Amino acid sequence: MSTPATELQQDGYITADGRKIGSVMMDLRSITLRFGGVVAIQDISFDIRQGEIRAIIGPNGAGKSSMLNVISGFYQPQQGEVWFLGKKRPPLKPYQVARQGIARTFQNIALFQGMTVLDNVMTGRLNHMKTGWLAQSIWLGRANKEERINRRKVEEIIDFLEIQSIRKTPVGRLPYGLKKRVELARALAAEPDLLLLDEPMAGMNVEEKEDMSRFILDANDEYGTTIALIEHDMGVVMDLSDRVVVMDYGRKIGDGTPDEVRNNEEVIAAYLGVPND
Amino acid sequence: MTEAAGELASLPALLARNAKLYGSKAAYREKEFGIWQTWSWAQALEEVNAIANGLIDLGVQRGDCIAIVGRNRPALYWSGIAVQKAGGIPVPLYQDASADEIAYALGHCNARYVIAGDQEQVDKVSDISDQIPNLAHVIYLDDRGMRKYDHSKLTSFAELQKRGREQSDQQELARREAELSPESTCVILYTSGTTSRPKGVVLSNHNVIETAKNSCEFDKLSNKEEILAYLPMAWVGDYIFSIGQALWTGFCVNCPESQDTMQADLREIGPTYFFAPPQVFERQLTSVMIRMEDAGKFKKRMFDHYMKVAKRVGPTLLDGGDVSFKDKLSYRLGKFFVYEPLKDTLGLRRIRVGYTAGEAIGPELFDFFRSLGINLKQLYGQTEATVFITQQPDGGVSSDTVGVPSPGVELRIDDTGEVFYRSPGVFVEYLNNPESTASTKAQDGWVATGDAGFIEDKTGQLRIIDRVKDVGKMADGSLFAPKYVENKLKFYPDVLEAVVFGAGRDKCCAFINIDLTSVGNWAERNNIAYASYQELSQHPQVLDIIAGHVNEVNQSIAEDEMLAGCQIHRFLVLHKELDADDGEITRTRKVRRGVIEEKFNDLVNALYDGSDSIYTETEVTYEDGRKGKITATLEIKDAVVATAAVKAA
């Protein structure tokens, strides 16, 4: 079973818990990414569909984060095409990708440590602000109204992620688990169509993981956000995601529903190892 | 009295009066999306009417019990009034109650409807819906996560109000409201039940309105007061403060944004009338002390200096006593530099009347807040009395008494020392439980509190010793009052909870729970590593500290002739926190002595058989209901028992 059979209807499918998954949102076709002589990603193709939670898993160094960086536009693959919403995506700067409706969180938290939670989440609204810096700095006319609309949206997300009590706390003073949640808040504040999460549960205790899982599911349910995530915790991945891509040494070794992937021999071998004889 | 008996017969009538008298004045506030939203009395009346009409539209019949479960929110307070207006009976339940506990209450009062705060509460109710065949419909307030649910027996609060506003027949509501009288049931509140299943206390409009009126007059509360509604809605205190007194005087009820933001919201609102159990004050004091440890040298010295001044003269000044000119001046300066800024940070700057009750409060803790100029007093009450039995008047405050009888309350102490009372607030009955009603409430209206106490000669105030059934005799016949000893232990910030054994035995022994915040902070400062509560609790240095506290307590008990026999001979520090989820304490944090003695039977035996340590396995329940097991080897320490003959010397 080298290429796991995931038969997909052209116009989506119904998940185990009864959600409707739409058509292909992002299509990655034969992506190859090299750093000098090192091949990080080797001829990988898969798609992400509207409304689904898609996981990318694999051992350390498998190329998961590189894959996410290709999706987010941070890396340009040497070969292959990225199709987004039915159009082939030309090489873009990361901020241009963000404008297309893709937001992300980072493996090692990238927040403004000295700013409050509220201000950090506000930065996520940048793409929704249209007034110039001059109008904003003297708080004039449209800038004022715009700030109020955006603040309202940010407050809704703060409420959604239950971080009201730390609204005015500088991020640097927060414990790790909460910082992760603030990062998620910032990404959600951008109201993305596609949300990329790079190891959202790394370093968390069981309770924090459960909270985070709930928020990810709720965000998918409440805002209809499509989510692609990288995660090491197999239990979490299998519970959360609708479909899973498995990578090993830059190659795709499995793709399908959690159950299909779990029974894939190559996947088992990559994770547990195989006897030599 | 005549006023209350007239057209102000019920809570809906009070609401209508307020809407007429104080129409545009703020009645309810709630922080949402970072901003305080305000509803005036007129708006509140409109909201309540919409809910009441919606309930009638949904099929609520006269006499239907409707449970309300969720955190403090204006919409749920309105529901409490609207249910009565629609002819139903509101039954507030504790939001942190387990599905089991909720099932019991819903089944016991035969509830037909539930108004739930959010998805969590809806889930609990739907888990047990097969046990409550009478349940017709559930209404939910927060629609988050509710989209996927089957809505055949579910309605959102917004939808309910919408249907209520579209209701064309306004006459039905008016008819039902007109039927309300002082005697009609205002609310059913479930007591926490330290020994048995909770009992449903039925309170009439007369109980609630008369009590609210009397207590407001006692403290001269006006419609200018601001309160923060943060204590459980199912607790009688919150019912009286946030519904009874608020409706009577027309003051404003403020609801915090979430449970975690209570401290910040407290500061923003700056209530003038405030109630908190001792734990809340304790937490505030602990956080002040911890933060002062981190403060700069200058600030720290200023704080220490002026706190000494406050301790010396603050309480006297608060009671209107006289102090020297020099002290007065120092206190003034202290007020400017320390007390006022500190009170502002704590959110207590505008407090005119503050109460604490529920548990005994430590004298140090009590005096700390009073020395800052906060008018903190004690009251004694219970659900069956619609809260008030005794309360302390301004200028007559001490930490070991609970005050003089509240207006309209008669007090009597019988030969066994049990306290009895009779008042307008005396409850109607326990729901579906005539035996308990008869054994608690006599024909002539006197109610047994179950507490033993006496009137202090010096002050004329009531002093409570312990629960009557807990006060016992030791093997040698001397008096045993466990709570008295436990409270002395709990006054130490390091001690969260204590359970003392000794009834019918030859000596007293104790279980002690350490307070993770306080001891954890100490550990951090002293570079002591620990991985868990269990490990910290058994750390030799922690055990030594606790032993020190126990010895001091013994010393102080020895001074009391009557109770000298209650000194603690041996103790151990428990490896887990006593938890309501495990049934060891009640939801209002009262120790369930019997349950603990049975559950930790092996530990109790070890305390008495002289062993040095004991290995034990304990089942624990996690918040989501799963069960687990923890094992530990606990060390048993001997305490120094002071000689009782202090008086002879």
Q: How far apart are CA B328 and CA B312, in angstroms?
A: 11
Same domain? For A176 and A134 the reply is yes
Q: Helix (H) and strand (E) counts for chain B?
A: 23, 28
Nearest by CB: B258 against A152, A162, A218: A162
- Provide mean pLDDT across the span A18-28: 85
Residue B284 and residue B261 share a domain: no
**Who among B33, B147, B261 is closest to A152 (CB)?**
B33
What rounded mean pLDDT belongs to chain B?
87
What is the pLDDT averaged over residues B342-352? 91
**Residue that is last in its domain, among B341, B374, B407:** B374
Chain A residues close to B258, C-beta within 8 Å: 162, 164-165
- Which residue from B614, B610, B635, B615 is spatially nearest to B507, judged by alpha carbons? B610
**Residue A129 in this model has a pLDDT that exceeds 60:** yes
Q: How far apart are CA B28 and CA A267, in angstroms?
A: 58
**Cβ A234 vs Cβ A57: under 8 Å:** yes
Q: Say if residues A187 and A110 touch (Cβ distance below 8 Å).
A: no
Determine whether the interchain pair A222/B264 forms a contact, defined as Cβ–Cβ distance below 8 Å: no
B428 is a domain residue: no
* pLDDT higher than 90, residue B98: no
Domain boundary among B228, B253, B275: B275
The verdict on residue A261 lying in a domain is: yes
Residue A6 has pLDDT above 60, yes or no: no
- Closest among A93, A73, A94, A95 to A28, alpha carbons compared: A73
pLDDT value, residue A276:
60
Question: Number of folded domains in chain A?
Answer: 2
**Distance set, CA B34 to CA A159, B18, B39 (Å):** 9, 28, 16
**CA-to-CA dists, residue B373 to B91, B309, B339, B348, angstroms:** 38, 12, 8, 10
pLDDT at B436: 85
Chain B interface, best mutation among A165, A178, A218, A221, by max B CB count within 10 A: A165
Cβ contacts of A65 within 8 Å, gap of 6 or more: A107, A198, A230
Per-residue pLDDT band for B644 (boundaries 50, 70, 90) equals: low
* One domain, residues B230 and B283: no
Amino acid at the residue B616: T
What's the pLDDT tens digit per position in A179-219?
A: 999 999 999 998 899 999 998 888 888 888 888 998 999 89
Shared-domain flag, residues A92 and A2: yes
Kindly indicate the confidence band of residue B75, based on its pLDDT and cuts at 50, 70 and 90: very high
Q: Which tops the pLDDT comparison, B302 or B145?
A: B302
Domain identity same for B259 and B297: no
A232 and A95 in a common domain:
yes
**Domain range for residue A1?**
1-101+194-200+226-277
Q: What is the mean pLDDT of residues B610-621?
A: 85
Same domain, B212 and B120: yes
Statement: residue A247 has pLDDT above 60: yes
Query: Are B158 and B175 within one domain?
Result: yes
pTM exceeds 0.95, yes or no: no
Q: A253: distance to nearest CA of chain B, Å?
A: 35
Q: How many domains does chain B have?
A: 3
The pLDDT value given to residue B649: 35
Boundary residue ending a domain (B275, B293, B322): B275
Nearest to B34 among A155, A218, A222 (CB): A155
pLDDT of residue B144: 84
Shared domain for A86 and A152, answered yes or no, is: no
Pick from A164, A205, A220, A221 the residue to mutate for testing the B interface (most B CBs within 10 Å): A164
**pLDDT tens-digit map of B369-403:** 998 989 999 999 888 889 999 999 988 888 888 88
Note the pLDDT of residue B29.
Answer: 94
**Residue A164 resides in a domain:** yes
Whichever domain contains B149, its CATH number is: 3.40.50.12780
| Structural contact between residues B545 and B538, judged by C-beta atoms closer than 8 angstroms | no
Q: Which chain B residues touch A185 with a CB distance below 8 Å?
A: none
Residue A143 lies in a domain: yes
Q: Using 50, 70 and 90 to split pLDDT, how confident is the model at B169?
A: confident
Reply yes or no on whether the pLDDT at B201 is more than 90. yes
Per-residue confidence (pLDDT) for residue B445, from 0 to 100: 86
Residues across chain B: 649
Q: Quick one: average pLDDT of B46-67?
A: 92
CA-to-CA distance for B401 and B361, rounded, in angstroms? 10
Indicate if B210 and B180 belong to the same structural domain.
yes
Contact B84, B36 (CB under 8 A): no
Confidence label for A232 from pLDDT (cuts 50, 70 and 90): confident
CATH of residue A233: 3.40.50.300
Residues of A in contact with B257 (CB under 8 A): 164-165
pLDDT at B5 (0 to 100): 44
In a domain, A52, yes or no: yes
**Statement to judge: residues B269 and B296 lie in one domain:** no
Instruction: Please indicate, yes or no, whether residues A95 and A231 belong to a single structural domain of this protein.
Output: yes
Residue A76 lies in a domain: yes
Co-location of B490 and B353 in the same domain: no
Residue B271: the pLDDT is 93
Length of chain A: 277
Q: Is A265 on the interface with B (CB under 8 A)?
A: no
Number of A–B residue contacts, CB under 8 Å: 33
Residue B48 belongs to some domain of the structure: yes
Amino acid B573: pLDDT: 93
CA pair distance B16, B10, nearest whole angstrom = 10
pLDDT confidence band for B7 (50 / 70 / 90): low
B453-472: per-residue pLDDT in tens?
888 878 888 888 888 877 77
- Asked if residue B295 and residue B148 are part of one domain, the reply reads no
User: Does residue B173 belong to any structural domain of this protein?
Assistant: yes
Residue B641 confidence class, pLDDT cut points 50, 70, 90: confident
* Domain identity same for B114 and B242: yes
Q: Does residue A215 fall inside a structural domain?
A: no
User: Is B260 within 8 Å of A222 when comparing Cβ atoms?
Assistant: no
Task: Return the pLDDT at B260.
Answer: 87
Judgement on whether residues A130 and A80 belong to the same structural domain of the protein = no
Same domain, B314 and B232: no
Residue A218 lies in a domain: no
Interface of A with B in 183-222 (CB under 8 A): 218, 221-222
- CB A165 to CB B260 under 8 A? yes
- Substitution target in B32, B33, B624 with the highest count of A β-carbons within 10 Å is B33
Q: What is the pLDDT of residue B80?
A: 93
Residue B6 pLDDT level (bands cut at 50, 70, 90): low
For position B549, what pLDDT does the model report? 92
What pLDDT does A2 receive?
A: 38
- Which residues span the domain enclosing B633? 472-638
Predicted confidence band of residue B631 (pLDDT cuts 50, 70, 90) = confident
Q: What confidence score (pLDDT) does residue B571 get?
A: 93
Tell me, yes or no, whether B627 lies in a domain: yes
Measure CA of the first residue to CA of the last residue in chain B; give whole Å: 57
* Domain-embedded: residue A231: yes
Nearest chain A residue to B264, by CA: A165
Q: In this complex, is the C-beta atom of A159 within 8 Å of any C-beta atom belonging to chain B?
A: yes
Q: Report yes or no on B452 lying in a domain.
A: no
* Last residue of one domain, picked from the residues A191, A217, A237: A191
A96 and A133 both lie in a single domain: no
Range of A131-135, B489-493, B496-500 with top mean pLDDT: B496-500
* Of A55, A66, A71, A67, residue with least CA distance to A103: A71
Let me know if residue B467 belongs to a domain: no
| Stretch B1-17: mean pLDDT | 72
User: Of B162 and A94, which is predicted with more confidence?
Assistant: B162
Q: Which of B433, B421, B429 is nearest to B387 (CA)?
A: B421
Q: Is it the case that residue A4 has pLDDT exceeding 70? A: no
Share of chain B above pLDDT 70, in %: 97
Q: Could you tell me if B565 and B571 are in contact, meaning their C-beta atoms sit under 8 angstroms apart?
A: no
Q: Is the pLDDT of residue B545 over 90?
A: yes
Q: Is residue B412 part of a domain?
A: no
Specify the pLDDT at position B193: 64
Q: Is residue B422 part of a domain?
A: no
B572-608: pLDDT as tens digits: 999 988 888 888 888 777 888 888 988 898 999 998 8
Where residue B530 sits, what CATH number does that domain have? Answer: 3.30.300.30
B174 plus B151 within the same structural domain: yes
Inform me whether the C-beta atom of residue B264 falls under 8 Å from chain A C-beta atoms: yes
Last residue of a domain, one of A136, A164, A191: A191
Reading the block at residue B357, the tokens are 């009750």
Answer for the pair A227, A54: CB distance below 8 angstroms, yes or no: yes
